[in-house]
Structure 1
Amino acid sequence: MDPLATAWSALGGDPALLARVSTVERPGALRARLPVRETARACVGACALAAAELGARRAGLAGAPAVRVDDGAVATAFVSERHLRIDGRAPVAFAPLSRFWRTADGWVRTHANYPHHRARLLTALGVPDRPEAVAAALAERSAREAEEAVYAAGGLAVALRTPGEWAAHEQGAAVGRLPLVERGRLDCAPPRACTRVGRDPLLPAAGLRVLDLTRVVAGPVATRTLALLGADVLRVDAPWLPELPDQHADTGFGKRSARLDLVADRSTFEELLATADVVVTGYRPGALERLGPAPAALAERRPGVVVAQLSAWGTRGPWGGRRGFDSLVQAATGIAAVEGSPRRPGALPAQALDHGTGYLLAAGVLRALTEQLDGGGSRIVRVALARTAGWLLDGAADERAGSEGTPGGGGCEEVPADAWLAQRESPLGTLRYALSPVSFAGGPDDWARPPGPWAADPARWG
């Protein structure tokens, strides 16, 4: 099946609306052995179509606006962090200890961008903060042994697996049984009132409050997209969790950002939850439930809410409660082995699991809001990086994109990004940034506000 049709079906969309989508194909974009370009286009196209559908309902239009998906815009946005410039300065890339390492029997991928993750990795290995010390310690262990030891210490490491090994793994089997986008109804709340929105530009999410309890890339990409579409997005972080400034700048467009101790400032947190239309969570499964944002509890307190949940590995299976990032999921699911080989792992041309899953999550929220206009009910939407990875790997069987020797088949020029970059002043300085690839007739072409400093805003709705 066409990837866009697959994504739209997973979102419960009317297949007749697919005729509203046109594409501009650029074969040089996101070159890889796996069908990354087609999958990325499908994620963005489904999100744009969901936005157009909701916008048409709220603006009283006879039909959904036309959607245009350009591979160049998609490719630029999927590496938005690489295009970001702050007063001409390029962003800080991955930390030295975030990489593949040789083990006694293969490879292991670590993630240590955050100080607490780096400290736990070093503690698990019993070595000082030097790459050569980490390399020596890992070279003496098997990849699976290193994986378990680092995770037991609260760090992040994953053994390189082939697609077949992941499919045979208990977690791989659990994730494989999940739909691409999990959707459900939590109660019998009455239909959402269809408050009208204007058309210049058409903002499908105007007037909606989105409480953003996400971090890193996928969740913030979803809420950044909802902000583009007019939502009042407030990101809330715990005071003790550090954030990477460049990462926040890249995904902070259109939002406000606050710090809040969800336990000590429980009354403030409850006030935010009480009037939120959408709550988006991106912490590992179970981490927030004890504080109140479990879907059923939220629906009971706020009938009609949409709860959107993102995880790395899914909510079921032995890894359901584990932390994870795009690079680790690529390693575990076999993507890194396909893009390179089991002897020397490779990587996708972008953090495509993060970005693609982020657009699917935003699309799920938009479709839930549309369904509430007629059917009511509090709604739950769930996505997982590992499930998106499985979809990408499944697509390879049909696309056969590229050969082992040349990623993406070779011979195609990369697509220049200039047409999809913009520049503006911000509290952070002069920004050069990637525009959103979510585009439909009459819709917004940029965010209403640039990002500000992390956690600089009060924890209240604007």
Structure 2
Amino acid sequence: MRVLTRFWRELGGDPGRLIDLPAPPVVPLPSRLSTGDLAWASVAAAALASGRAAADLTALDPVRIALSYRSDRMLRIDGAAPSVWSPYSGFWVTSDGWIRTHGNYPHHAAAMRAALQLTDTAVSRDISAALASIGSREACTRISGAGGLAVEVADERPQFDAALREHPIVEIQHTEGAPARVLRHSPGDRPLEGVRVLDLTRVIAGPVCTRTFALLGADVLRIDPPHLPEPEWQHLDTGHGKRSALLDARSDRFRELLSGADVVVLGYHPSALARLGLAPDALAAEHPGTIVLDLSAWGAEQPARRGFDSLVQAESGIAVIESADAGRPGALPAQALDHSAGYLLAASAMILLERRRLHGGSWRASTSLRRIAAELLGMPRRQEPGSDADIDTTAHAARFTVAGRQILTTRPVLPWFEFEAPRPWSGDQPRW
């Protein structure tokens, strides 16, 4: 409860909404760190921001939250579980320690092969052999230098994490100059009907945020660059209720979309956004009144650095803490940094939409996976992670037909609403 109270205060929510908060339930995400408590507080913040009363939080199902945080494991496409991890993603032993790599996207896998001088047919044993003879730092330098993604598995840094926690979980900035703005369209039964959201994100955190907007009635348009395909399973896992189109961010049409958006969600690393003229400050100057949500892996202090949840877990010390045997690194039971960042950003946007209606101005909300990791590392711990419960998923499954494919996903964590089906990735036109 204390975590939710602090999150809500830092987001700028009305403190009167916290009266009669229920005690948080046990969310079955077994780990040494308080993964379940973080998950409940993040989802509860989004529920409160959507207009639910504190007493309504008793309807949040802890099993549903756990399944949603692990939705990639529940996903079925035509009855089959997709392969969600590439052979190039994982922990690897080096000559002096461990590294974690991420190669789910083909261009990242190709960069890793180039760095390690491997052929296109390389398999896990080839990667293991190449890495066993070099040190962790050298391996990461080589892979990163080639355009791939790798970090050293490291111990936690308590002082560094404490310094991060001195900042709000989501930082809010206000720029004056834009008048108060009512929505372009009349709101309907769902709280975000009439809100236009431009989704410029990939890989769980941003898509979870914008999936929440779509669940609550917003018109969400996801735009991807034409040269960067998205894995099918990844989009189907988090694409519910959104439209999806391809468009060059340098085009006039893209600028028209920006001018029509109430909320713009950014998920690419800061230096890439700056090159495209999409830095949050630039968007506020060019499109006054816009609410910009800014998500990165490592934070504004490392603007050129790319990353994913698994890499942040490895470098922040989480992988060492969650090791099952004090040897091989471990992991959280879910991509919890991603999911929590998504729900907290969604909560911040709903609060900021109301501030914009009352006071005008442009607003920015930003967080990073590394900041979420610092939060988790500062929460209570347990000696042993516990074990996975045998959960009946029947009541928590949603079924859709998407382009002739039969899709099974988790139902939403906000139980007052139901998902609309994901649409095929890139199948829509780039227009409001």
TM-score of the superposition, structure 2-length normalised? 0.93
Q: Classify 1:342/1:311 alpha carbon distance in 2 versus 1 (closer, same or farther; 3 Å).
A: farther
Cα shift readout 1:51-93 (whole Å, capped 9, x = no counterpart): 116xxxxxxxxx7883332211110110111111122121222
Match of 1:40 in 2: 39
Q: CA deviation at 1:269?
A: 0.5
From 191, 198, 220, the counterpart of 1:233: 220
From 173, 197, 221, the counterpart of 1:184: 173
Match of 1:278 in 2: 263
SS in 1 for 2:315: helix
Is the counterpart of residue 305 in structure 1 residue 305 in structure 2?
A: no
Match of 1:446 in 2: 418
Match of 2:61 in 1: 70
Q: CA deviation at 1:139?
A: 1.1
Match of 2:395 in 1: 419
Match of 2:146 in 1: 153
Distance 1:70 1:9 in 2: 24
Match of 1:56 in 2: none
Q: CA deviation at 1:8?
A: 1.1
Match of 1:394 in 2: 378
Cα shift readout 1:1-29 (whole Å, capped 9, x = no counterpart): 722112212211122212365466246x1
Structure 2: stretches of 5+ with no match in the other structure: none
Q: CA deviation at 1:426?
A: 2.8
Distance 1:94 1:335 in 2: 19
SS in 1 for 2:51: helix
Q: CA deviation at 1:233?
A: 0.4
Q: CA deviation at 1:420?
A: 1.6
Letter in 1 for 2:187: V
Distance 2:263 2:140 in 1: 35
Is residue 238–residue 260 contact of structure 1 (8 Å, CA) maintained in 2?
Answer: yes
Pairing of 1:62-101 with structure 2 (within 5 A) = 66-67=56-57, 68-101=59-92
Is the counterpart of residue 460 in structure 1 residue 399 in structure 2?
A: no
Q: CA deviation at 1:174?
A: 7.3
Is the counterpart of residue 381 in structure 1 residue 365 in structure 2?
A: yes
Q: CA deviation at 1:288?
A: 1.9
Pairing of 1:220-259 with structure 2 (within 5 A) = 220-259=207-246
> Which stretch of structure 1 is more off in the superposition, 173-182 or 269-278?
173-182
Q: Classify 1:267/1:295 alpha carbon distance in 2 versus 1 (closer, same or farther; 3 Å).
A: same
Is residue 226–residue 362 contact of structure 1 (8 Å, CA) maintained in 2?
Answer: yes
Distance 1:375 1:258 in 2: 33
Q: Classify 1:228/1:65 alpha carbon distance in 2 versus 1 (closer, same or farther; 3 Å).
A: farther
Is the counterpart of residue 323 in structure 1 residue 314 in structure 2?
A: no
Q: CA deviation at 1:154?
A: 1.1
From 136, 143, 149, the counterpart of 1:143: 136
Q: Classify 1:37/1:103 alpha carbon distance in 2 versus 1 (closer, same or farther; 3 Å).
A: same
Q: Classify 1:176/1:3 alpha carbon distance in 2 versus 1 (closer, same or farther; 3 Å).
A: closer
Is residue 255–residue 451 contact of structure 1 (8 Å, CA) maintained in 2?
Answer: yes
Q: Classify 1:39/1:147 alpha carbon distance in 2 versus 1 (closer, same or farther; 3 Å).
A: same
Distance 1:400 1:9 in 2: 24
SS in 2 for 1:364: helix
SS in 2 for 1:347: coil
Which segments of structure 1 move beyond 6 Å, counting only runs of 4 or more? none
Distance 2:264 2:389 in 1: 41
Match of 1:59 in 2: none
Distance 2:214 2:375 in 1: 27
Distance 1:422 1:151 in 2: 39
Letter in 1 for 2:411: L
Distance 2:404 2:314 in 1: 34
> Which stretch of structure 1 is more off in the superposition, 293-302 or 149-158?
293-302
> Which stretch of structure 1 is more off in the superposition, 345-354 or 190-199?
190-199
Is residue 161–residue 337 contact of structure 1 (8 Å, CA) maintained in 2?
Answer: yes
Letter in 1 for 2:369: L
Match of 1:6 in 2: 6
**How many residues matched?**
427
Distance 1:365 1:36 in 2: 23
Distance 1:20 1:237 in 2: 43
Q: CA deviation at 1:428?
A: 4.6
Distance 2:67 2:104 in 1: 23
Is the counterpart of residue 197 in structure 1 residue 187 in structure 2?
A: yes
From 106, 115, 127, the counterpart of 1:124: 115
Is residue 22–residue 55 contact of structure 2 (8 Å, CA) maintained in 1?
Answer: no
Distance 2:404 2:272 in 1: 31
Is the counterpart of residue 207 in structure 1 residue 190 in structure 2?
A: no
Match of 1:57 in 2: none
> Which stretch of structure 1 is more off in the superposition, 277-286 or 289-298?
289-298
Is residue 52–residue 65 contact of structure 1 (8 Å, CA) maintained in 2?
Answer: no
Cα shift readout 1:275-315 (whole Å, capped 9, x = no counterpart): 11110010011212232322232223322110001100001
Distance 1:235 1:156 in 2: 25
Cα shift readout 1:22-48 (whole Å, capped 9, x = no counterpart): 466246x10111000000000000011
TM-score of the superposition, structure 1-length normalised? 0.87
Is residue 160–residue 342 contact of structure 1 (8 Å, CA) maintained in 2?
Answer: no
Distance 2:422 2:186 in 1: 28
Q: CA deviation at 1:196?
A: 5.5
